[in-house]
Structure 1
Amino acid sequence: MGRSTVFAQGLVALATLSAASPVPISITSSKRAATNSTGSISWGPCSDQFPSNLTCATYTVPLDWSDPNGNETIELGMVRAEAKDKDNRIGYLFVNPGGPGGQATSLLASLAQEPDRLDSRILDRFDIVGLDPRGVGISTPVQCDPAAFNKRVAYFPETQDQFDDLVAYNKGLAESCRAKTGRLIDFVDTISAVKDHEAVRKALGDEKISLLGLSYGTQLFSQYAELFPDNIRALVLDGNLQHSQSESSNLLIESNTYETTLKQFFSWCANASEDECPLSGQDVQAKYESVLAKATKSPIPASGCNNTDCRSDVTSEDLRFNLQGYLISTGSWSSLAQALIKADDGDATLVSQAQGLAVGDAYEDSSLYAGTAIACQDWDHASTSLADVQAKATLGSSLSPLTGGACQSYKIQTSCIGWPAPLSNPTKRVTYKGDTKILMAQSTYDPSTSYAWGVGLHAEIGPDRSVFLTRRGSGHTSYLLGGNTTAAINTYLLDLTLPDPGTVLES
């Protein structure tokens, strides 16, 4: 689902930023005096962790939106790329890169450092806002014990002892999160984040906004559209996540799209030039299966890792989970081939580095911690026994034999067994009754958010209220690739012109 590590792979593929400061930014009173104030939000200089061409702001909201006048509050942090052509400014464009746990501030910071990745007209005419959802980034973050998070457990338990260890790990991590984070751990569901975005919209002047949601961002903004349909000027959902499927359906759909895209990689690499793929002309699937067999027999050492930023060896389970992240961007496929070559030779460092570990940085680690916390409040996880989990493993291995059903949906469902926070945003269909037509983009071979989810969400929203745009190709999401799909999305954002229903583009 493009969520972070495993719960933030989508974010990793879209943008990375080395955060220099581990603490949420704040604007001092002296800086506030010189800021340009809009509504009740004042934009001012950011901390050194962000490019100087961005401005930053904070905004206070209730911890619990069911008690909006309560004494408990949290702080939302956001960055802005201000419209360059103020005379022709369209309005605010909110972006979310996915996750859950993905940092909108990190995405916008990356784009600010590489402005050529966006159409100049988008930069000219929109105030682009990256608002970190509650629990994430420079908003009040979810914090946990890194050692508790990094502890290794088997997500595919074969014995009762292994299952008991998994549940104990989940509970121990949750206890550390509650001790460090407080009551916020119970209020990081997507509906709360939706209401945060609406509060910020009103504080920025109460104008209609445009929204661009990638991966999990499609869930965030489709649920925004359901609750606040009249406040949207334009809405793009790219790499769609369908929040209405059953647990078993999600496992089937996501593990299948992961495995299908892995096969696309095998075919591409075998037929690519040697400059493009170091396994050119070879049986790439056989190379993968060789590595998997070796990791199954005994963990493969990762000589470049020391268990602080990546694990010192790689199990077959690690391999199957971690390769999903490599498939996010086709630009990483050559590196994936190199990772398989080295692992087959006995060094799985590159495979291990694809799995994020907590490093003790509040900004960076919040994506990992919040990813788990949000997912456990948003997605059903009814398994309570070893037999339940083994049935899911059998489903995966039967229908996705190369990857054995390892995928982000599976890890969420097993990571949340024993999680104490309530399931406050359970799976359900999206009901949208707004007049603004939504543009939905989906690639045919997306390793995280399946084409099936895109078609399903389109049916929920309705063909009379949305247009479904297909990119025939591989990779997770389409907007930042710069092809014809990007151009179609930009045309819609700029002047609300939609492609014809059923349009299929090749880039």
Structure 2
Amino acid sequence: MLWQSASVGCQGEHFGDKNGDGVNKFRTVTGLAVAAFVAAACTGTPNSKAAPSPSPKGIARYYAQHVSWHDCGGGFQCGTLHMPLDYAHPDAQRITMSVIRLPAEGQRKGSLLINPGGPGGSGVEFVREGARQFGADLRKNFDLVGFDPRGVNQTKPVVRCLTSRELDRFFATDTSPDTPAEVNDLVKVSKGWADDCKTRIPSLLPYVGTINAAKDMDVLRAALGDQGMTYYGASYGTYLGAYYADLFPKHVRAMVLDGAIDPKLSGDAVNIEQAKGFDTAVHAFAADCVKANDCPLGNGSVHQALTRLQRFFAQTDKKPLKNGLGDGRVVDESLVELGVASALYNKQTWPILRLALKSGMEQGDGTTLLRLGDLLVERNKDGSYSNQSEANMAVNCVDKPYSRSLGAWKDQAAKAKKAAPLFGQFVVWGTLPCGYWPVQSHEQPRPLHAQGSKPIVVVGTTRDPATPYRWAQALASQLNSGVLLSLDGDGHTAYLQGNPCISSAVDRYLISTATPKKNTMCH
């Protein structure tokens, strides 16, 4: 199970292996790849706070809301808004969205809505922890606004299906099954996840998808008093933003989609392309590692290094590593792969990954790899989890159709293993709960054009592990007003990686709507 997220850099919390090698905690808010959910387009009224027309009776009162802000520490203000659970029946059950803002420090132009990815990533936590990493001029001109999408974190009701112990078991389940018994174990935990969601949150499940989240964003825009949407979306947030632009093209003022997803891809294609993206990223890590004196993969060729890493994965399938955390978890191949994948999100973490692999390969200690993986899935030190993974699965499983045939999943896993030997099976089997999900889409993925929208800037990183660069190229070409901005680099997403070329182009566009030159490549 892999995620798409915005990496917000180092936060200064230290942890280490048993030898005391300190590493910085890096914050990620993450989510699985998502393809398109087809829905009828909804035409918005240009530069208007009013509800889109035509719209069901009862929607207007949601558009008439205002956020009642209160101080919530650190210079931030917090509030809530109501949204209909089902936009077709707005007078029935409603949800309560949690929002946060860092007010503009100068002459305010409006609000910049921010989504960090996922699905399942908390925009409230992302803005609270990372808002000041956005450009200074941007912060002078805009309130930075984060929101928890429906089902996520503080927004109520929340997607909660599994206990912490059940999540531990899911992540540790062998995703490189060699026997029928191992396949059956994957089926058991995956079907169990789907069944538990059906039992615990049956009324919420049909309505957590991207189409409703995009409609919520327009209600939020109106409540903030903005005539046009100014938006930064990372990873899954690019799909959410593109879907919003497709629904409400005349409401877009400026939109940056960083670490883009190709909405026209099927679920199978998304899995295989994402797995190839992680294999590309680990290839780049290995090329860097073999130049270092402390590289546990040796100092030979990149091919030799990757062969050694693949052999290490296989060895941990047979003989798990030690766990120094004392929580009883077995550091098997799946958790080792999770730890490696986590470190690929940000190049700053590569030295930590070298230390983690050295500890695992030379001392049989998987503690640091385990902690890296915990960061990615937001597992806390006390063993509890945020609801990121559960919301992630719920959104993805209703956003696109998945096969109900176990044979089809086996075929896809075999195809993925051939295309991406290191991460292929890991990615595919991690999405198996969607094969048993009680609510599924019968629509097919499609390109999103946002016809009539003002220019939208799509940002891609050439060796992005979670959202391959070709996805950014595809989305920019699909959008009628898409402008591609690229970073020749490593890691997931580009804007918050500190590259001056990317940062200045994005800030200038969001402030003035002046787009960068098409196909600009930053280095």
TM-score (ref. length: structure 2)? 0.82
Q: Secondary structure at the match of 2:208?
A: coil
Q: Aligned equivalents of 2:350 and 2:299: distance in 1?
A: 15
Which residue is equivalent to 1:316?
333
Is structure 2 residue 209 aligned with structure 1 residue 189? yes
Q: Do 1:136 and 1:367's aligned partners in 2 also have CA atoms closer than 8 Å?
A: yes
1:418-429 paired onto structure 2 within 5 Å: 418-423=436-441, 426-429=444-447
Residue 225 of structure 1, CA deviation? 0.3
Q: Secondary structure at the match of 1:142?
A: coil
Deviations 1:301-347 (A, max 9, x none): 2232514xxxx222223333442221000011111111111111201
Q: Aligned equivalents of 1:12 and 1:351: distance in 2?
A: 20
Identity across the alignment (%)? 28
Q: Do 2:297 and 2:309's aligned partners in 1 also have CA atoms closer than 8 Å?
A: no
Which of 463, 481, 498 is the aligned partner of 1:445?
463
Q: Aligned equivalents of 2:193 and 2:413: distance in 1?
A: 23
Q: Aligned equivalents of 1:230 and 1:445: distance in 2?
A: 33
Which residue is equivalent to 1:175?
195
Q: Secondary structure at the match of 1:134?
A: coil
**1:196/1:101 CA distance change after superposition, 3 Å:** same
Q: Aligned equivalents of 1:477 and 1:83: distance in 2?
A: 24
Q: Aligned equivalents of 1:78 and 1:424: distance in 2?
A: 32
Q: Aligned equivalents of 2:360 and 2:8: distance in 1?
A: 22
Is structure 2 residue 356 aligned with structure 1 residue 339? yes
Which of 70, 79, 91 is the aligned partner of 1:57?
79
Q: Aligned equivalents of 1:7 and 1:180: distance in 2?
A: 24
Q: Do 2:175 and 2:425's aligned partners in 1 also have CA atoms closer than 8 Å?
A: no
Q: Aligned equivalents of 2:474 and 2:162: distance in 1?
A: 38
**1:8/1:18 CA distance change after superposition, 3 Å:** closer
Which runs of no fewer than 5 residues in structure 1 stay unpaired?
20-37
Q: Aligned equivalents of 2:159 and 2:128: distance in 1?
A: 21
Residue 151 of structure 1, CA deviation? 2.4
Q: Aligned equivalents of 2:452 and 2:208: distance in 1?
A: 26
Is structure 2 residue 256 aligned with structure 1 residue 236? yes
Is structure 2 residue 235 aligned with structure 1 residue 215? yes
Which residue is equivalent to 1:149?
167
Which of 368, 371, 380 is the aligned partner of 2:392?
371
Which residue is equivalent to 1:294?
315
Residue 371 of structure 1, CA deviation? 0.7
Q: Aligned equivalents of 2:115 and 2:89: distance in 1?
A: 26
Which residue is equivalent to 2:412?
392
| Residue type at the aligned position of 1:496 | T
Q: Aligned equivalents of 2:298 and 2:110: distance in 1?
A: 48
**1:167/1:420 CA distance change after superposition, 3 Å:** farther
Q: Aligned equivalents of 1:211 and 1:363: distance in 2?
A: 32
| Residue type at the aligned position of 1:504 | M
Residue 157 of structure 1, CA deviation? 3.9
Q: Secondary structure at the match of 1:300?
A: coil
Which deviates the most, 420-429 or 321-330? 420-429
Is structure 2 residue 273 aligned with structure 1 residue 253? yes
Q: Secondary structure at the match of 1:417?
A: helix
Which residue is equivalent to 1:203?
223
Which deviates the most, 8-17 or 295-304? 8-17
TM-score (ref. length: structure 1)? 0.84
Which residue is equivalent to 2:149?
133
Q: Secondary structure at the match of 1:266?
A: helix
Which residue is equivalent to 2:37?
none
**1:161/1:447 CA distance change after superposition, 3 Å:** same
Residue 132 of structure 1, CA deviation? 0.7
Q: Aligned equivalents of 1:363 and 1:53: distance in 2?
A: 28
Q: Do 1:209 and 1:233's aligned partners in 2 also have CA atoms closer than 8 Å?
A: yes
Is structure 2 residue 2 aligned with structure 1 residue 6? yes
RMSD over aligned CA atoms reads 2.8
Which runs of no fewer than 5 residues in structure 2 stay unpaired?
12-25, 30-63
Q: Aligned equivalents of 1:167 and 1:278: distance in 2?
A: 35
